[in-house]
Amino acid sequence: MKPRIHPVSRPVVFRDRAAGVAFLTRSTADADERVTWEDGRSYPVIDVETSSASHPFYTGTKQVLDTAGRIEKFNRRYVGQAPAVG
């Protein structure tokens, strides 16, 4: 790597507010807020909306979609508007 053209990578704590978990990793992101981690050191902390601890893909939870309501809405809106084929 060329010197002085890449951002500095440092330890950062990412805190998932939805799941109530935090994890320490390396990142180029920086933050003004700091938190004391389990090792006693202070690290910048970044709050995130979703992480692997709260995302439905990783947790196995599914969202229920109202597909029946969407089909009925589509039929009400477009029924009889399409020309007959054939």
pLDDT computed for residue 51 by the predictor: 77
Question: Which residues, given as ranges, of the chain have pLDDT below 50?
Answer: none
CA distance 2 to 62: 45
pLDDT computed for residue 22 by the predictor: 92
CA distance 14 to 26: 10
Structural domain boundaries, residue 72: 10-80
pLDDT computed for residue 45 by the predictor: 94
pLDDT computed for residue 28 by the predictor: 93
pLDDT computed for residue 66 by the predictor: 63
Torsion sign over Cα 77, 79, 82, 83: negative
Is residue 4 one of the residues assigned to a domain? Answer: no
On whether the pTM is more than 0.75, the answer is no
Is residue 17 one of the residues assigned to a domain? Answer: yes
- Backbone conformation region of residue 76, classed left if phi is above 0, alpha if psi is from -120 to 50, else beta: alpha
Overall number of domains in the chain? 1
Is residue 5 one of the residues assigned to a domain? Answer: no
| Contact residues for 37 (Cβ-Cβ < 8 A; gap 6+) | 13, 24, 43
